Amino acid sequence: MTQPQGKIETPPDRRPQDWVGIHPVHRVRSQRFPRHVAIIMDGNGRWAAAQGLHRFEGHRRGAEGVTRITRTASRIGLEYLTLYSFSIENWKRPPAEVNALMGLYAEYLVREREEMMANNVRLVQYGRREGLPPRVLEELDRSMRLSAGNTGLTLGLALNYGSRTEILDAIRRIARQAAQGRLDPEQITEQTVSDSLYTAGTPDPDLLIRTAGERRISNFLLWQISYCELHVTEVMWPQFSRRDLMLALRDYAGRDRRFGQVPGAAPPGRGGPSVR
């Protein structure tokens, strides 16, 4: 029987077996493998300009990059991959570019749905639903509903997302509970805040990758990356390859994550970033 297009064989326990990698030089010991990788996908427009192409072509190539890196993440047994897809600040871009991007999101969700199902990928969205076009919401909801039972990679799209907005929404949610007498303000903990964020139920990222050489966080997962390792690459997102991902994982594997504690101590936080 033929396999669905893009079908990837993943380890049965969803974790890498001993070594993982595309090429021996990029292999990473599974004991040093991150559970959750987040990526700020930057450089689509600059890549297009450097090629003498329209900005939209850069975004289209960037969407191909999402497919490529999601396949790789699923193949190597990564549990969570979160991509900064469209920020609340991106609404300030020219309307023609925003409309083109929204059309690209809808097309991506339709085009990749079969492959996500074939590879046991679960899709989730982090961000506000208000303001997203009806077609994008329709396709997003359909993909999330169909993939809800999948147990492989969780692909999180930070779509219409801003971390300060997320924290404000969490504060309002907690404040309403307190005002209704359902929550004692003195009992509010870090876990209370984490459980009120868009990402509730998702472990904090272990590794944050930013492409295109920028060295800023850009209002992305500010609460969640408190103990995250950062990796910046000069490679622009449309060119970000499987090799580049494995190099970032190898960089992560070589770091000593102590979280301000002595070696071997349990990491802080909500189940915390894991020491590997």
Distance (Å, whole) CA 82 – CA 240: 15
Is residue 84 within 8 Å of 41, Cβ to Cβ? yes
**Range 63-78 average pLDDT:** 95
Using only C-alpha atoms, the chain has a radius of gyration, in whole angstroms, of 19
Q: Please write the tens of the pLDDT for every residue from 188-233.
A: 999 999 999 999 999 999 999 999 999 999 999 999 999 999 999 9
Query: What is 22-160+205-252's CATH topology?
Result: Undecaprenyl pyrophosphate synthetase (3.40.1180)
Closest CA to 198 of 117, 130, 98: 130
Instruction: Please tell me the pTM assigned to this model.
Output: 0.85
Catalytic sites, residue numbers? 42, 90
16-30, 124-138, 233-247: the lowest-pLDDT one: 16-30
Q: What pLDDT, on a 0 to 100 scale, did the predictor assign at position 91?
A: 97
Distance (Å, whole) CA 13 – CA 263: 28
**Range 121-145 average pLDDT:** 98
**Range 251-264 average pLDDT:** 74
| Distance, CA of 234 to chain centre | 19
Q: Please write the tens of the pLDDT for every residue from 48-69.
A: 999 999 999 999 999 999 999 9
Closest CA to 66 of 45, 86, 41: 41
**Terminal CA-CA length for the chain:** 39
Q: What pLDDT, on a 0 to 100 scale, did the predictor assign at position 264?
A: 59
Residue count of the chain, please give it: 276
Band the pLDDT of 4: cuts 50, 70, 90: very low
3 state SS of 246: helix
- Structure-block tokens of residue 65: 């990059």
Helical ranges in the chain per DSSP H:
44-50, 55-76, 95-118, 134-147, 163-179, 190-194, 242-253
Sequence spans of domains, the chain: 22-160+205-252
Determine the angle formed by the axes of helices 95-118 and 55-76, rounding to 10 degrees.
Answer: 20
Is residue 85 within 8 Å of 105, Cβ to Cβ? yes
Closest CA to 150 of 180, 116, 178: 116
